[in-house]
Amino acid sequence: MTSADYHATGRDDRIRVRRGEVVIGRPLPWDVYDESGQLLLSKGFVVANPRQRQRLLDEGLRSPLQNLPESAAADTDTASSIGGNPFVTIDQLTVRLEGILSMVQQQNRVVSPQQRIRKMGRDIQALCNYDADAALGAAHLKHDTSYPYRHSIHTALLCELVARRLNWSVAQRLSVIAAALSCNVAMTALQAELVEQAEPLNDAQWDAIQAHPQRGRAMLEAAGISDELWLRVVMQHHECINGRGYPAGMRGDDVLPEARLLGLADRYHAMVTGRSYRNGMLVKDALRRIFLDAGQEVGSTLAQMFIKELGIYPPGSIVRLANGETAVVIRRKGELGGPMLACIANSRGEHYAQPLYRDSSEQEAYTIQDVHPSPGAVPFGLSRLWDY
Ligand SMILES: [Fe+2]
């Protein structure tokens, strides 16, 4: 939009830039003007620090014509209401999923599960367009809701981000997301049990795990799901191309690429998520495992795309900097090309009173040295770290 366009919308139409719309490390989705109508910052400008952000909140006005980033509007097949705080959105999605899946489990045909789960899928696509880095941060650090539903939402977010990189169509991605949200519908109670269980599986648990893809497909069909790709991905999400998966022991290209992606995202998220009896695996170890096992399980191309999308230090990684500080990676790329960081502790491990934002490319001292081997508790909530 040009300055002339701005004035053409009428000065009474201009609206103030709101908290939640300006995020540190992310490009502005629109031009921003001051009170007099002069261009303050152009669309695409990356807000680098809290000072710039505060100035925008104090002085910034924008056209009301465009509420969403263009990519979000163009890439989803419905007007999306996603905006504001993505971590709140993820909480809402988790509650919605629990409600829908419990109705599928009770065989309540009134709920239109296909429509409702696909609507959730479009919201997840919009969320990934709105703030992919926050979505990745949640997948690594958000542990405060019921595991089976949280795991499904985060797996769906990972699938969408990698499928976008693979240039899969919106419709194809939607079927994968829907499968990610519903593939464990036949074992949500068991999943919740296993996340607390340090002992090996007993026979009944083992049988239920082996049967859950088939049972899940049957439950979804009975509930009215008719999307064949969605159903096939649910059936195949534990198959591996080396024939060692289940339930059918399929091999090679017989396993759908969409099912391989879901299987990969499912395993990765399970690896990095802690259990009540153990911590989650360090991100770099999980990515290394994917790199080493991938050719056997899902194929090397898909595994490489997965690793490429996340990067070595995906958002949510807790790292140590050259100056000894502990930081959470909050964005894959800041203005200078390196990850953006929220520093949480000094070199002696003492927590800061508030997160200190750094661009890892700005100074040698802020360079990431390694993943933190024993980071301990993060003293801030995700909304605070991501500055929402
Ligand atoms: Fe599963």
The one-character DSSP state at 373 is: S
Q: Tell whether 72 is covered by a domain.
A: no
Overall number of domains in the chain: 3
Handedness of CA 265, 280, 311, 343 (dihedral sign): positive
**pTM, to two decimals:** 0.81
Going from the Cα of 262 to the center of ligand 1, the distance in angstroms, rounded, reads 9
Q: What is the pLDDT of residue 52?
A: 73
* Domain match, 355 and 336 both: yes
* Domain match, 294 and 218 both: yes
Q: Which of 31, 46, 67 is the last residue of a domain?
A: 67
* Domain match, 240 and 302 both: yes
Going from the Cα of 284 to the center of ligand 1, the distance in angstroms, rounded, reads 23
Going from the Cα of 147 to the center of ligand 1, the distance in angstroms, rounded, reads 13
Neighbouring residues of 28: CB distance < 8 A, sequence distance ≥ 6: 22, 41, 42, 43, 44, 45, 46, 47
Going from the Cα of 261 to the center of ligand 1, the distance in angstroms, rounded, reads 13
Going from the Cα of 259 to the center of ligand 1, the distance in angstroms, rounded, reads 11
Neighbouring residues of 85: CB distance < 8 A, sequence distance ≥ 6: 20, 383, 388
* Domain match, 237 and 346 both: no
Going from the Cα of 97 to the center of ligand 1, the distance in angstroms, rounded, reads 16
Going from the Cα of 125 to the center of ligand 1, the distance in angstroms, rounded, reads 22
Going from the Cα of 184 to the center of ligand 1, the distance in angstroms, rounded, reads 5
Q: Tell whether 94 is covered by a domain.
A: yes
pLDDT per 10-residue tile (average), the chain, 388 residues: 44 71 74 80 73 76 60 41 84 94 81 90 94 95 90 97 95 97 95 87 93 97 95 97 95 96 95 79 89 83 93 94 97 86 96 95 94 86 93
Residue numbers of the domain that contains 58? 3-67
Going from the Cα of 182 to the center of ligand 1, the distance in angstroms, rounded, reads 9
* Domain match, 35 and 112 both: no
Going from the Cα of 237 to the center of ligand 1, the distance in angstroms, rounded, reads 6
Q: What is the pLDDT of residue 217?
A: 97
Going from the Cα of 360 to the center of ligand 1, the distance in angstroms, rounded, reads 37
Q: Tell whether 73 is covered by a domain.
A: no
CATH number at residue 138: 1.10.3210.10
* Ordered alpha helix ranges (H), 166-251: 170-182, 188-194, 203-222, 228-236
* Domain match, 300 and 169 both: yes
